[in-house]
């Protein structure tokens, strides 16, 4: 006879299996639905023609996604390039050099920054970042710009990503035992040598993972970027030129898709491309982390 304890055990295992299936099924269903909705456009134009085309004229049946893909990559990569060093150095300072009271005082500030709505960041970008790019950065480069640009989008995104990545890094550094730090210092290492050997090297795979998650967060951000990036359908020729990322394309045009043939399919394909880019990047990051961890163990 099966006891109540065994029934509870089997029930718990069943719920865990169900939860795992749901986690695996959700992205698979998303990909299937988006692919199915994108098929009419793919059948008419071909995948390679769509992603390599640079002309976007829905009324003429021309759907080129190259400007949107390049703008998305430019803005998100710029954001993470700006944010990653700040996050790593800030996390090292707060966890290894700053007084505990400073860390405790900064944690609520970081949480508040992470919880600010993206539209507020967008308004801040319009009021501060856009004029800064227009009046300071562009003249310094000998160029003209309205301020609504790839650089403005990257700066706003960098500020948005910093608290997200910084929180992960602080939690990561807190997992290093204090005994390991003390042992390094006892052997005559300076504090910076201790940080390099006992903290940064030990947590390098986690740092890469945090940066990768920050990039994934950046490439999918919509409202704040939409407000400052310019939304001009062309391939950006400089950082102070306007762009048009994929999330902004979907947000700006979704309500109009029913009036133009293939518009629905085109926007679903935009969402599918965004999902594919994110999945491919995360897979590459996992392979890089696994290779890095393997080399460390040799």
CA–CA distances in Å: residue 89 to residues 1, 97, 183: 60, 11, 23
Flag whether 104 is in a domain: yes
Flag whether 182 is in a domain: yes
Please count the residues of the chain: 298
Flag whether 285 is in a domain: no
d(CA 60, CA 267): 16
Strand partners, 230: 243
8 Å CB contact between 152 and 125: yes
Structure tokens at 260: 């133009």
d(CA 203, CA 215): 18
Confidence label for 258 from pLDDT (cuts 50, 70 and 90): low
Which 8-state DSSP code applies to residue 253?
H
Flag whether 13 is in a domain: no
Q: Which percentage of the chain shows pLDDT scores above 90?
A: 23
Q: What is the pLDDT of residues 187-233, one digit of tens each?
A: 877 888 888 888 888 888 888 888 988 888 888 888 888 899 988 88
Describe the chain by its helix, strand, coil percentages, rounded to 5. 80, 0, 20
Cα separation of the two ends of the chain: 51
d(CA 256, CA 153): 24
Cβ neighbors of 253 (< 8 A, separation 6 or more) are 263, 267
Q: What is the pLDDT of residues 98-125, one digit of tens each?
A: 888 888 888 888 888 888 888 999 999 9
Q: What is the pLDDT of residues 5-17, one digit of tens each?
A: 777 777 778 888 8
Q: Which percentage of the chain shows pLDDT scores above 70?
A: 94
Flag whether 52 is in a domain: no
Flag whether 198 is in a domain: yes
Q: What is the mean pLDDT of residues 231-251?
A: 88
Domain residue limits at 243: 73-253
Flag whether 148 is in a domain: yes
Q: What is the CATH number of the domain that holds 202?
A: 1.10.3720.10
| pLDDT for the residue 292 | 66
Between residues 252 and 259, which one has the greater pLDDT?
Answer: 252
Q: What is the number of domains present in the chain?
A: 1
Flag whether 51 is in a domain: no
* Chain position carrying tokens 């490439």: 219
Structure tokens at 181: 């730090």
């Amino acid at each position: 006879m099966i006891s109540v304890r065994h029934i509870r055990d089997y029930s718990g295992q069943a719920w865990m299996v169900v939860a795992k299936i749901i986690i695996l099924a959700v992205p698979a269903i998303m990909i299937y639905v988006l692919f199915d909705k994108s098929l009419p456009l793919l059948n008419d134009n071909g995948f390679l023609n769509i992603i390599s085309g640079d002309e976007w004229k829905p009324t003429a049946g021309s759907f080129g996604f190259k400007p949107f893909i390049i703008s998305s990559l430019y803005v998100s990569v710029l954001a993470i390039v700006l944010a990653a060093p700040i996050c790593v150095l800030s996390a090292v300072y707060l966890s290894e050099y700053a007084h505990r009271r400073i860390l405790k005082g900064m944690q609520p500030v970081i949480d508040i920054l992470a919880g600010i709505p993206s539209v507020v960041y967008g308004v801040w970008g319009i009021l501060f970042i856009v004029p800064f790019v227009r009046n300071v950065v562009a003249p310094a480069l000998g160029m003209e710009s309205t301020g609504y640009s790839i650089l403005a989008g990257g700066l706003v995104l960098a500020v948005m990503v910093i608290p997200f990545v910084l929180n992960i890094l602080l939690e990561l550094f807190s997992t290093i035992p204090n005994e390991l730090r003390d042992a390094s210092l006892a052997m005559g290492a300076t504090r910076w040598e201790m940080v390099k050997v006992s903290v940064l090297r030990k947590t390098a795979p986690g740092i890469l993972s945090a940066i990768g998650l920050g990039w994934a967060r950046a490439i999918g951000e919509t409202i704040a970027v939409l407000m400052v990036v310019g939304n001009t359908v062309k391939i950006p020729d400089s950082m102070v030129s306007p762009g048009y990322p994929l999330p902004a394309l979907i947000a700006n045009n979704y309500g109009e898709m029913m009036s133009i043939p293939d518009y629905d399919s085109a926007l679903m394909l935009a969402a599918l491309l965004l999902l594919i880019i994110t999945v491919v990047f995360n897979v590459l990051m996992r392979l890089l982390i696994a290779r890095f961890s393997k080399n460390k163990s040799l």
